[in-house]
C-alpha cells in the first residue's frame, strides 16, 4: 500500500451519497457563522486572534448544493474577482482574503462587506474556507490506494475524497489538478489505442495535445518544446525503436523550429551516451564484485572479516577511480 497524494485542497465531511442541504434561513448575517479553525497556510491566531466561530448546528447544515435566493445585486456579483476564479487562482484569493483580514483583525467586517459583493453560495465557501482547507489536509493524509491500482482507480480515489471535502466546489477549487488528471487519463487511454493503430498515431497525438493547449490558461501551453515533449510522451513504448524514432521525427517537424530540433537532437545524443556509460559501469562493477566474491572463498579465505572488507572496499574504490578518471 502506498499513499497517493496530489497537492491541493479537500473539504468538510459530506457523504458520497449526496450533499447536505441548507436553506437561506439557516445562514444568518451575523459573523458567528464561520469556523474558528485557521486557514491551511498557517494564517491566523497571531496575537491570540481567532477566525470567527460558527455555531455547531449551522456548521452541520452548511451545504455544497445550497439554494439561495438571487438578489437584485446579482449582476454586480459577477464582477468580483472571486466570481470567475477557479483552481490555483481561487485558492490564492481565498488564502489572501483570510490572511489580510486576520492581519487587520477585521474578518467579521470583511465578511459582512463581502457578502453583498458575491454570490451567496460562493460566500459560504469563503466563510468555510479555513475549516474546509484543514479538512482537506486531513483527507490527503488518509488517502491511501494500492500501488498496483491502475491510473483510473487512483484518480477516482482522489476525486471521491475531493467530493467528500469540497462538495460541488471540488471541480472548481481543484480545477488545475482535475485538468491534469483528466489529461493523464485521456493520454493513458490514447496511448493504448495508438499501440493498436499506429497509422493514425501522429494525427491523434497532435489532436490530443491541441485539446490540452485549449484548456490551459498559461503561456507555457503555446511553447513548442513543451507541446513536443507532451506529444513524444504519448508514443507507445510497445512500438519498435525504429517506429518510435520515425514518429518522434514527425512530431518534431510539426512542433519545433530547426534550431529547437537540433538542440533536442544534441540532448538525445548526450542522454544516449550517458546511458551507455552507466550500463557499462554497472556491468563492469557487477563483474568485479563476482570476481572478488569468488576470490574470497579461495586465495583470500585466510583474511579476517575486517581485513576482507577493507580489501574489498579498496578494490571497489580503485575501480571507480579508474572508470571515471
Q: Give percent of the chain above pLDDT 90.
A: 27
Q: What is the pLDDT of residue 22?
A: 28
Structure confidence at residue 63 (pLDDT): 36
Model confidence at 31: pLDDT above 80: no
H helices present in the chain, as ranges: 56-61, 74-77, 81-84, 87-104, 107-115, 120-142, 151-166, 170-173, 175-196, 201-215, 224-232, 241-255, 258-296, 305-324
pTM above 0.75, yes or no: no
List the chain domain ranges.
2-173, 179-256, 260-324
Separation of alpha carbons 168 and 153, rounded Å: 21
* Tens digits of residue pLDDT in 194-212: 777 777 888 888 988 888 8
Contacts of 57 (CB under 8 A, 6+ apart): none
pLDDT at 218: 57
pLDDT of residue 198: 73
DSSP per-residue string spanning 183-230: HHHHHHHHHHHHHH-GGGHHHHHHHHHHHHHHH--SGGGG-HHHHHHH
pLDDT at 38 > cutoff 60: no
pLDDT tens column, 59-111: 333 333 333 333 434 445 567 888 888 889 999 999 999 999 999 999 999 99
Is it the case that residue 222 has pLDDT exceeding 70? Answer: no
Better-scored residue on pLDDT, 216 or 212 = 212
DSSP 3-state of 285: helix
Indicate whether 309 pLDDT > 90: yes
- Per-residue model confidence (pLDDT) at position 243: 87
Where does the pLDDT of residue 305 fall: very low under 50, low under 70, confident under 90, or very high at 90 and above?
A: very high
| pLDDT in the model for residue 122 | 87
Confidence at residue 73, expressed as pLDDT on a 0 to 100 scale:
45
**11: nearest Cα among 159, 180, 181:** 159
User: How far is residue 77's CA from residue 121's CA, in Å, rounded to a whole number?
Assistant: 11
pLDDT score for 282: 95
- Measured distance CA(12)–CA(59) in Å, rounded: 10
DSSP at 3: E
> For residue 11, is pLDDT > 60?
no
- What's the confidence (pLDDT) of residue 66? 33
Q: Is the CB of residue 88 less than 8 Å from the CB of residue 176?
A: yes
Task: State yes or no: pLDDT of 26 exceeds 50.
Answer: no
Nearest Cα to Cα of residue 169 among 76, 58, 62, 70: 62
What burial letters (b/e) apply to 9-20, b meaning 16+ CB within 10 Å? bbbbebeeeeeb
Confidence band of 37 (pLDDT split at 50, 70, 90): very low
Q: What pLDDT shows up at residue 142?
A: 85
- Give pLDDT tens digits for 232-278: 988 888 888 888 888 889 999 999 999 999 998 898 889 889 999 99
> Grid coordinates 476564479 are at which residue?
85
Residues whose CB is less than 8 angstroms from the CB of residue 243 and which lie 6 or more positions away in sequence, other chains included: 198
Least confident of 25-34, 37-46, 265-274, 293-302: 25-34
Q: What per-residue confidence (pLDDT) applies to 257?
A: 92
- Better-predicted residue by pLDDT, 46 or 240: 240
pLDDT at 239: 84
- Which pLDDT tens digit goes with each residue over 111-143? 988 988 888 888 988 988 888 888 888 888 888
Amino acid at each position: 500500500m502506498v499513499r497517493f497524494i496530489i497537492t491541493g485542497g479537500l473539504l468538510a465531511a459530506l457523504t458520497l451519497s449526496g450533499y447536505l442541504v441548507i436553506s437561506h434561513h439557516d445562514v444568518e448575517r451575523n459573523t458567528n457563522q464561520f469556523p474558528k479553525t485557521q486557514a491551511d497556510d498557517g494564517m491566523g491566531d497571531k496575537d491570540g486572534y481567532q477566525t470567527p466561530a460558527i455555531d455547531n448546528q449551522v456548521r452541520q447544515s452548511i451545504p455544497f448544493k445550497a439554494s439561495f435566493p438571487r438578489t437584485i445585486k446579482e449582476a454586480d456579483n459577477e464582477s468580483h474577482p472571486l466570481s470567475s476564479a477557479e483552481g490555483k487562482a481561487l485558492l490564492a484569493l481565498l488564502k489572501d482574503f483570510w490572511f489580510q483580514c486576520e492581519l487587520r483583525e477585521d474578518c467579521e467586517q470583511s465578511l459582512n462587506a463581502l457578502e453583498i459583493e458575491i454570490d451567496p453560495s460562493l460566500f459560504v465557501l469563503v466563510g468555510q474556507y479555513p475549516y474546509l482547507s484543514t479538512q482537506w489536509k486531513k483527507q490527503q493524509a488518509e488517502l491511501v490506494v494500492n500501488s498496483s491500482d491502475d491510473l483510473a482507480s487512483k484518480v477516482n480515489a482522489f476525486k471521491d475524497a475531493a467530493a467528500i471535502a469540497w462538495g460541488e466546489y471540488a471541480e472548481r477549487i481543484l480545477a488545475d489538478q482535475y485538468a491534469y488528471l483528466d489529461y493523464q487519463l485521456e493520454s493513458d487511454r490514447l496511448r493504448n489505442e495508438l499501440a493498436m493503430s499506429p497509422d493514425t498515431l501522429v494525427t491523434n497525438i497532435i489532436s490530443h495535445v491541441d485539446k490540452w493547449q485549449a484548456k490551459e490558461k498559461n503561456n507555457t501551453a503555446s511553447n513548442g518544446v513543451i507541446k513536443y515533449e507532451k506529444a513524444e510522451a504519448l508514443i507507445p513504448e510497445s512500438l519498435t525503436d525504429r517506429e518510435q524514432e520515425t514518429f518522434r521525427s514527425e512530431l518534431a517537424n510539426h512542433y519545433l523550429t530547426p534550431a529547437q530540433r537540433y538542440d533536442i537532437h544534441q540532448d538525445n545524443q548526450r542522454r544516449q551516451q550517458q546511458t551507455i556509460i552507466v550500463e557499462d559501469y554497472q556491468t563492469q562493477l557487477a563483474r568485479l564484485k563476482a570476481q572478488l566474491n569468488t576470490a574470497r572463498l579461495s586465495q583470500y579465505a585466510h583474511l579476517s572479516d575486517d581485513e576482507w572488507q577493507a580489501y574489498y572496499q579498496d578494490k571497489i574504490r580503485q575501480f571507480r577511480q579508474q572508470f571515471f578518471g
